[in-house]
Amino acid sequence: MPELKTYAVWDASTRWFHWINALCVIALAVVGFLILNTGALEVPTAGKLTLKTIHVWIGYVFVLNLLWRIVWAFFGNRYAKWRSILPGGRGYFQALRSYVAAFIAGHPEQYMGHNPAGRLGIAVLFLLITILAITGLLLAGTDLFYPPLGHWIAQWVAAPDVAPGSLRPYAPEMYDAAAYESMRAFRKPFAMVHLYGFYVLVVVVVLHVASVIITELREGGSIISAMFTGRKIISGRPVDEERSTRN
C-alpha cells in the first residue's frame, strides 16, 4: 500500500481568497437574479435601487479580494505564484500531454499544486472574474454614480443647472436627456458583457466543481479539504514534489 504523506500547499491568503470569492459569486448571482427579474417580481423602484446598492457593495468586496489575490500571486508561497497557477512556462505543454495521457490510461499523475489541466481552468476563471470586476465597476458608475467612475458619469449626464455631486439614480429630471441617452448607449455593450460573462462564469464554475470532485475521486490528494486546511495528503510521489515542504 502506498505511503501517505502530508504536504503544506495552500497558504492562508490563498484559502481566504478562494472562499471569499466563492461567497461573493453566490451572493452576486442571487442579487443579480433578483435585479434582472424586478419586473416579474413587481419590485418597486426603491426596492430595485436597494438591490443594486447591495449588489455594488458585494461587488466591491469581490473586486478588493481579486486585487489582493493578484498582489499575492507575486508574494505568496510557491503554489500561490503566477507560474504555478497559470498555464505556460518551460515544459508546460509536455506536462499537460503527460497528465492527460496518464489520466485517460487510468493512472493519473498527482500534483501538490494545480495540475496542468487545472491551470487552464484557473486561467479561464481569472479572466472571467477580471472582466466581471471591470465591467461591474463601470456599471456601478452608470447606474448609481458610485466610485470609481461615478463622478465622471455624473458630470457627463447632469443637467446644466444641477450639481453633478447631487445626482440621484432614477431621477430623470436631474439629467440632461441627450447626454443621458448617450451615456446609456456607451453603457450598453459593457452591460451585455457583464451579463453574458456571468452566464459563462456559472458554466465554468460548475465545470470547475465537477473537475475537482472527479480529480479527487480519481487521484486522491484531499483536494477539497486542502482548501480548508492548506495541506494535501498524497500517496506516492507528486510530480511537482521538488522544493516542496513535506512532513
Query: Can you spell out the DSSP letters for 61-73?
Result: HHHHHHHHHHHHH
Structural contact between residues 167 and 145, judged by C-beta atoms closer than 8 angstroms: yes
Q: Is the pLDDT of residue 1 over 80?
A: no
Q: Report the C-alpha gap between 17 and 68 in whole angstroms.
A: 8
Q: Is the pLDDT of residue 246 over 50?
A: no
Domain ranges within the chain, ordered by starting residue: 4-235
Query: What pTM, to 2 d.p., does this model score?
Result: 0.91
Split at pLDDT 50, 70, 90, the class of 108 is confident
* pLDDT for 228: 93
Q: Is the pLDDT of residue 89 over 50?
A: yes
Looking at domain 4-235, its CATH superfamily turns out to be Transmembrane di-heme cytochromes, Chain C (1.20.950.20)
Long-range contacts of 74-82 (CB under 8 A, 24+ apart): 76/11, 76/13, 76/14, 77/11, 77/14, 78/113, 78/243, 78/244, 79/9, 79/10, 79/11, 79/14, 79/112, 79/113, 79/114, 80/10, 80/11, 80/13, 80/14
